[in-house]
Amino acid sequence: MQQDAIQSWRQCVLELGGVGQKKAAVMALTVTTSFSGTHTRRFRLGATVQSIPCSSCAAFRVVARARPLCTSSFRDFSNVQLGSTVAACKVRRVGSQNRRVVTSRKLRAESGKADYETDGTTRKPTQVQDGVIDQQEDSRLPLAVAIQNLGLNVKSDRGDVSVLRDCSLNVPEGQLWMLLGPNGCGKSTLLKAMAGLLKPNRGKMFVIGPRSFVFQNPDHQVVMPTAEADVAFGLGRLDLPIDEVRERVFKSLRAVGMDQYAQRPVQTLSGGQKQRIAIAGALAESSRLLLLDELTTYLDRDDQIGVLEAVRSVVGVPQKVTALWVTHRLEELEYADGAAYMENGRVILNGSVAEVEAYIKRKQNEFFSQSG
Ligand SMILES: Nc1ncnc2c1ncn2[C@@H]1O[C@H](COP(=O)(O)OP(=O)(O)OP(=O)(O)O)[C@@H](O)[C@H]1O
């Protein structure tokens, strides 16, 4: 998207924010997209808007950039197809919910970009033993994640709060690992640091890329009108030929078992299906590492299993995709190749599923024997 197009759209968003729903306003909008070239369209605020150009992510990305000043947003209800140049769009005022959608989506796009081999203090690239460590005495596995003694503080109204302390974690490439621990122990914070969304204060971190972050609530990140348009969302910034976009979208949808749903309006999908669309979006961007934050919290058993199996099927060969899955659900451990357990901002166990399972069960028994 060119600069003048960005300016036009930003201006449009600002003006939308400044006028009431009932007050008619006519806007001109010029957008250049990687799919469709340049288009100028007019629409009336508060009515169903005709002819917002493009099904691509570009418009959403621009809205995200304008977010601090934006009090309105839009949601597209039409059945837009990949590569189509025109969509019908409804403009409406929104509350914090939709702003969160846009923000989350922005994070997803940015997290893929963040280059985060850093020692946390100098921000110079570092290697942790060339990304290879002894996992067991007899096996040397290449690592997708190698974190040593990470420290991370966040600012709160009570001053600096130390969330991660001497936190270390190794995850081998091409495996599905699960990260468990009590509420507030720092799991999401660690994931965000790995995605490049939070900056550590201390320690060393090697995290393979490209990587993507998938959030707990699919409604916060599946924002495009159809499944295929949503999977294509992050590709807008790569300036790919349309055929490659189509191919990537199709392959990614097939990888998570959603190829039959390509043109489905996203609001007709179940929570689990939306999560699989979000995962497909990450795969389409050729992510080597999926950072998955409690994906199954809002899902029923069938959707939970669907998402677990989708992740299981994309992990490993041939692209060597690695997944780190944060969960509270012990039964999900049966899908994992390895597991880690956190307490008070530190990983206290990093290894076998059996070891983590045994530790949690021991803690549960202690708790019940004390309270009983
Ligand atoms: N921006 C912030 N300001 C203040 N405290 C924060 C901030 N972000 C995180 N924390 C605190 O850091 C701790 C770890 O939070 P985090 O969300 O990483 O935990 P978690 O292990 O993912 O928890 P849960 O299992 O409940 O999702 C919590 O005590 C949280 O309140």
Q: Are 147 and 158 in contact (CB under 8 A)?
A: no
Question: What pairing do the DSSP bridges indicate for beta strands 159-172 and 139-156?
Answer: antiparallel
Average pLDDT over residues 153-178: 92
The pLDDT of residue 37 is above 90: no
Domains belonging to the chain, first-starting first, are 3-105 (no CATH), 129-219+269-371 (3.40.50.300)
Averaging pLDDT over each range in 44-58, 67-81, 209-223, which range is the top one?
209-223
Q: Is the Cβ atom of 64 under 6 angstroms away from ligand 1?
A: no
User: What ipTM did this prediction achieve?
Assistant: 0.97
Residue nearest to atom 6 of ligand 1 (CA): 154
Residue 325, both tokens: 């899955």
Q: Is 187 in the pocket of ligand 1 (CB under 6 A)?
A: yes
66 neighbors 9 (Cβ within 8 angstroms): yes
Rounded to whole angstroms, how far apart are CA atoms 173 and 289? 9
Cα 193 from Cα 207, distance rounded (Å)? 10
Q: What is the per-residue pLDDT for 9?
A: 35
Please tell me whether residue 255 adopts helix, strand or coil conformation: helix
Distance from C-alpha of 371 to C-alpha of 8, rounded to nearest angstrom? 63
φ/ψ of residue 88, rounded to 5: -85, 140
Arithmetic mean of pLDDT over the chain: 67
Q: How far is CA 62 from CA 106, 164, 188, 348, in A?
A: 10, 33, 27, 42
What is the pTM (predicted TM-score) of this model? 0.69
**Block residue for tokens 């509270």:** 328
* Distance from residue 154's CA to the centre of ligand 1 (Å): 9
Report which of residues 233 and 324 the model is more confident about. 324
Which residue has a Cα nearest atom 24 of ligand 1?
Answer: 183
Question: What is the per-residue pLDDT for 354?
Answer: 94
Please tell me the predicted confidence (pLDDT) of residue 221.
74
Before 218, cis peptide (omega within 30)? Answer: no
Contacts of 251 (CB under 8 A, 6+ apart): 283, 284
CA distances from 317 to 139, 174, 338, 369 (A): 19, 7, 17, 45
Nearest CA to ligand 1 atom 28: 184
pLDDT number for residue 179: 97
pLDDT of residue 22: 25
Mean pLDDT: which of 59-68, 121-130, 152-161, 210-219 is highest? Answer: 152-161
Q: Are 152 and 189 in contact (CB under 8 A)?
A: yes
Residue bearing the CA closest to ligand 1, atom 27: 183
Structure tokens at 352: 């076998």
371 DSSP assignment = H
Retrieve residue 77's tokens.
């209800």
CB of 188 shorter than 6 A to ligand 1 = yes
pLDDT of residue 164: 96
Q: Tens of pLDDT along 235-281?
A: 766 667 778 888 888 988 988 889 999 988 888 999 899 989 988 88
Say yes or no: CB of residue 157 within 6 Å of ligand 1: no
Q: Is the CB of 164 under 6 A from ligand 1?
A: no
Query: Ligand 1 pocket: which of 189, 197, 348 to mutate (most atoms <8 Å of CB)?
Result: 189
pLDDT digits (tens, 9 = 90+) for 288-333: 899 999 888 878 888 889 889 989 988 986 778 999 999 999 999 9
92 in Cβ contact with 75 (< 8 Å): yes
